[in-house]
Amino acid sequence: MAGAYDDRDGMIWMDGKLIPWRDANVHILTHAMHYASSVFEGERAYGGTIFKSREHSVRLRRSANMIDFDIPYSVDEIETAKADVMAANGLSDAYVRAVAWRGAGEDMGVASARNPVRMAVACWEWGAYYGDAKMKGARLDISKWKRPSPETIPSHAKAAGLYMICTMSKHAAEARGCSDAMMFDYRGYVAEATGANIFFVKDGEVHTPTPDCFLNGITRQTVIGMLKDLQIKVHERHIMPEELEGFEQCWLTGTAAEVTPVGRIGDYNFEVGAMARDIATRYEQLVRA
C-alpha cells in the first residue's frame, strides 16, 4: 500500500462497520478537529496477531475516560473490529491504528457533551519507523519543548492533543538531519522521545526515566520485564541532562519504534552495543513467538 493516506484501496472499520478506505471521512466541524477531543492507539501485528492487542484496547478506553468521554464499544468489540479490518485488508504483518473522537453534533464550542463519540480502526503495512537506525543507531536532536506537568494535561492518556509539541519537535529534528528528538520534562529531567520511551546503559545496568508525566508505554513495560527476566538491574528514576555524558548505550522503545538503538543525542554519542542489540533481537523474537 502506498500513496497519500486518504487515497488508498482497502477497508476501514468506522462506527461499527467496514467501509471503503476513501469513504472514511468526517465533517469539517468535527469537535476533535477543533478542540483535540481524540484518543488513539498504535499497534503492530506480527504473523496475524496484534502484539498485546487487548492491553491496547483497554488503554484506548481508559484514555477516553481521562479526557472525559466514553467509547461506545467494549474491549471485546474493539478487538473484533481490529481483527475484521486486518482480514478485510488481507494483512498479517501490519500497523493498526484505532482512534476515537468527539464528532460533529449539537455543540460547537469547547463543551461537547451532546456530540456523538465516534471510532475507527485502520491498518496498513509499515516498515521500520527509523529506517536503518536499528543497525546504525538513530540520531536524536534535543527538543526545545518540554513535557508538561500532569497538573496541566492528562499526561497518561494517549490523547491526540498531547502530540502537538511532539510534531513540532520532530519537524525541527528532521530539519537538522536527525530521526527524532529527545524531550526533557517541565522540571528539566530527561523524559522521552516524541513517540517513544528511552533507556540508557551504564556499567551493565539500565536506567530509564520515571513515567510520572508522560506515557508509560506498553513496549516500555514489556522491555523492562525482559530485562528483569535476564537479571539485569533496571533503575526507573529521574535522570538529569548532565548524566547523558556518562551513559554508554541508549535505545528507544515503542510500538512503531519497537526497540531501536540510539547512536547520538545532541552532542552525546552512544555505542550501538551488545545489550541494545540483544534486547532488540529478543523483542523481535517475542513479538513473533
**CB burial readout 73-106, b (16+ within 10 A) else e:** bebeebbebbbebbeebebeebbbbbbbbbbbbe
Place of cell 491498518: 123
DSSP 116: P
CB–CB of 145/154 below 8 Å? no
Query: In this structure, are residues 184 and 214 in contact, taking their beta carbons and an 8 Å threshold?
Result: no
158 is catalytic: yes
| Rounded-to-integer distance, Cα 202 and Cα 25, Å | 49
Vertex 172: Cα angle to 149 and 215 (nearest 5): 30
Residue 113 near residue 152, CB atoms below 8 Å: no
Closest by CA to 10, choosing from 82, 85, 118, is 85
Backbone angles phi, psi at 166, to 5 degrees: -70, -45
Query: What whole-number distance in Å separates Cα of residue 91 and Cα of residue 139?
Result: 31
Which of the following is catalytic: 158, 202, 228, 233?
Answer: 158
In angstroms, the CA 258 to CA 255 distance is 5
The residues assigned a catalytic role are 158
